Chains A and B, each alone.
Chain A
Amino acid sequence: MPSFRFASHASRRGPLRSLVHAAAGLALAALAMPALANEPWQRLDAAQSLLGDSEPQTQGLTLDLPHVSEDGSSVPLTVIFDGELDEGDYIERIDLFANANPSPSIATFHLTPLGGKTEISTRVRLNETQQVIAIATSQQGERFATAREVRITVSGCLVRNGGEMPDSLSNPRVSIPSGLAAGEPGEVRTLINHPMETGLREDDDGNVVPRHIVERFSVSLNGDTVFEAELRQSVSANPYLRFFLAPQESGEVEFTWQDDSGETARHVAELDIT
């Protein structure tokens, strides 16, 4: 079969093509850096009212979300801060927004120096393809912002029929680290079953299901609050939170969830520092 071309090194056309690729790469990199006036947080009122006149830094804060999600009812999200801060300063607040959701504010996290590592994961609802925005505020007032676009598809092979859903707070689950040294950051994971009704959904008979969400989640160590979250409708059903604690001493960790009907759920765990 002599008509098929096998490569011969004499015919390589590498350098020229590589240059073209490199140029294209540079052009793409330029496109990836939007003009300042066009940052997603500048186009969202809720984010602007939080920022006020301050110009956030764009390095140091990262959002990790899939580029494409086939299930907008539960999109995994992680926000990480690894930027520079003055000595003694720390990130004390992170706000999350979804700019095309009916109610853009997703959640607000309140952190303390006992976090040790600023990395929080949760699962969020995204109504459609849009920008997800994170804004971090340090205790001394430094601001950081980042955004990431997520494309939401409705996959025909991923039709949702919904499983059974509890109508109140149930099955709190907690995973805490063991064998930590004092001050060493350890991963904490929590999950609780709750419908997180948005107040926008209709039931099978066409009646609007009233809003019913977990509004607040807090964690204390030996009585001192070490982590808090204000949750809103855009947090997925069965709220999941993953964050870090760097405790200096052993003690009792108490987890509390509170929903908008006033109901609360508690879970207590013993944390041992070696």
Chain B
Amino acid sequence: MTQHSSRPGLNRRQLIKGLGAASLLPLVGGITPFAIGGQHAGQVVVIGGGFGGATAAKYLKRTNPAIEVILVEPAEAFYTCPFSNLHLGGLRSMHDIAHGYDELQDRYGVRVIHAMAEDIDAATRTVRLSTGSELEYDRLVLSPGIDIRWNALEGYDEKAAEKAPHAWKAGPQTELLRSQLEAMEDGGTFVMVAPANPFRCPPGPYERASLVANYLAQYKPKSKVLILDAKDNFSKQGLFMEGWERLYGDRIEWVGLSGDGRVTRVDADRLEVETEFGTVHQADVLNVIPPQKAGWIAERAGVTDDSGWVPVKPDTFESQQAEHIYVIGDASVAAPMPKSGFCANAQAKVVAAAIAASLESRPAPEAYWTNTCYSLVGPKYGISVAGVYRVRDGVIAEVEGSGGVSPANAPETTRALEAEYAVGWYNAICQDTWGTPV
């Protein structure tokens, strides 16, 4: 039995190399017990070390430690989008939302390579890295998150993002937007441009507006928040608006699609935006959350469709367009599941089970997913929406009667408890995903 037995066209030299590798394994330690007996369970490459990718790598190893798992992620520290709004609002440091890969390597035996995946050849099942080396895979997991559709909104390109940050990938953009907020004069207007569906984290823009308003109320009380939205409805809208009124009075103004809220042109140099019907809004700090698409490597893999996102088979999240490539998280079309970190984590577990089964030629176990999106309207004011999802009639559907949203007009104690639950949720999912101790 060799590790390459299922793959045709293999030359003799590699076969020997493979055997040599297996014979070295006892020296490596106890991390791949099944391989010691010469059984190779398959090689899985995971691209992207966020909620989806890190969870997939861990749960593949938990399901079958004999599977060789390689995680490709350029960053040594991953900053989460969840809770990055707390940094913007001055409530958490960037350090508090950074996570590393020690547990995956040291405890689970995942090989973590800090490089960019630059190309994927689905025909030869290889991934080319920015280091120049290539990785083979039996199964590939893509969890690349989002990329910005530069210029889909007139005037908004990479250069514009240095002046009008999107801050929709946590990291330097988050810090830039925070520093702009800190530098803003009292009496200024924070203008946020919110995108049409679908986009990463449906309640995210509105939590951000809330926590910015919270900061302004304390430190720059004459300042305002203006949200210009390309939608008429948004996630937890009633709950957000109730909270805004209670906590911030009229500090936050929201203009929806039918009120001429859709921005069609950005002038980042002048911090100016123009709407579809010609209204020009002047910002002091301009946060443009632009249209998005699946992370770039998904395009290279040939798994995106004309929407820019990745259609997947609902029960396994395997690409509909390329065999043996599984795509999870924000990049995939999983609606009605939202593009959330929690969903990516839940999808990763389904994919880990499906891949482990497929490598043993077993059918995938029946899938279901859960999701909760907590949002902070204020530091002590939390709201949430939850859902349970299963495959019904060949598509993902919310289980009837599952989940729901926080009650309207609830007492302060309920909101305060949910704010605590939000922190508990964050700590728990980061521990599950990266092993970050609480």
A binding-site residues for B, Cβ under 8 Å? 1-8, 10-14, 16-18, 21, 66-71, 73-74, 76, 151, 153-163, 171, 173-175, 189, 191, 193, 237-238, 240
8 A–B contact pairs at CB < 8 A? A2-B21, A10-B11, A68-B335, A156-B338, A156-B386, A156-B398, A156-B403, A163-B237
Q: Range of interface residues on chain B?
A: 35 or more
Inter-chain contacts of B196 with A (CB < 8 A): 76
Which residues on B sit within 8 Å (CB–CB) of A175? 276-278
A240 to B257, CA, bound (A): 10
CA of A178 to CA of B337 in the docked complex: distance in angstroms?
A: 43
Q: Which of B226-240 contact A (CB under 8 A)?
A: 231-239
CA distance A237 to B259 in the complex (A): 12
How close is A189's CB to chain B, nearest CB, in angstroms?
Answer: 6
Known: A160-B233, A238-B232. A71 touches B197 (CB 8 A): yes
Q: Which residues of B does A touch, CB under 8 Å?
A: 3-4, 7-11, 13-14, 18, 20-22, 24-25, 28, 32, 35, 43, 68, 70, 111, 121-127, 133-136, 196-198, 202-203, 231-239, 241, 256-260, 276-278, 305, 307, 311, 322, 333, 335-338, 340, 371, 373, 385-387, 395-398, 403, 405
User: How far does the alpha carbon of A158 sit from the alpha carbon of B233 in the complex, in Å?
Assistant: 7
Q: A1 to chain B: which residues have CB within 8 Å? A: 28, 111
Quick check: A153 and B258 within 8 Å, CB to CB? no
B310, chain A: closest CB distance, angstroms: 12
Contact check, A158 vs B395: say whether CB atoms are below 8 A apart. Answer: no
Nearest-Cβ distance from residue A269 to partner chain B, whole angstroms: 11
- Contact: B20 with A5, CB < 8 Å? no
* B233-A73 in contact (CB<8A): yes
| A158 and B136 contacting across the interface, CB-CB below 8 Å | no
The one of B3, B25, B70, B202 that contacts A155, using a Cβ cutoff of 8 Å: B202
Does B260 lie within 8 Å of A7, measured CB to CB? no
CB-CB under 8 A for A67 and B21, given A11-B9, A156-B403, A162-B233: no
- B336, A4: Cβ atoms closer than 8 Å: no
Given contacts A5-B135, A173-B260, contact A14 B277 (CB under 8 A): no
In the bound complex, CA of A175 to CA of B32 (Å): 65
Assembly CA distance A171 to B335 (angstroms): 34
Cα–Cα distance between A171 and B256 once the two chains are bound (Å)? 14
**In the assembled complex, which residues on chain B have CB atoms less than 8 Å from the CB atom of A76?**
196
Q: Which 6 A-B pairs have the closest CB atoms?
A: A161-B238, A156-B387, A7-B134, A238-B258, A157-B338, A153-B336
* A160:B237 contact, CB within 8 angstroms: yes
Indicate the member of B111, B234, B322 with the most A CB atoms within 10 Å.
Answer: B234
State the CA gap A169–B347 with chains docked (Å): 46
- Cβ contact within 8 Å between A17 and B202: no
* Cβ contact within 8 Å between B124 and A155: no
Bound complex: CA of A70 vs CA of B197, how far in Å? 7
| B124 CB contacts on chain A under 8 angstroms | 7, 12-14, 17
Q: What 12 new A-B contacts, CB under 8 Å, besides A11-B10, A74-B233, A159-B385?
A: A1-B28, A3-B3, A3-B35, A13-B9, A14-B124, A21-B322, A153-B336, A155-B335, A161-B241, A175-B276, A191-B258, A191-B260
| Distance between Cα atoms of A14 and B198 in the complex (Å) | 35
Which residue from chain A places its CB closest to the CB of B230 in the assembled complex?
A: A76
Assess whether A11 is in contact with B197, with CB atoms less than 8 Å apart. Answer: no
The answer to whether B277 and A191 touch across the interface, beta carbons within 8 angstroms, is: yes
Interface centre among A155, A174, A175 (most CB of B within 10 A): A155
Chain B residues, Cβ within 8 Å of A156: 336, 338, 371, 385-387, 398, 403
Contact B203 A157 (CB under 8 A): yes
Distance in Å from the Cβ of A250 to the closest Cβ of chain B?
20
A17-B123 CB under 8 A given contacts A1-B111, A70-B197: yes
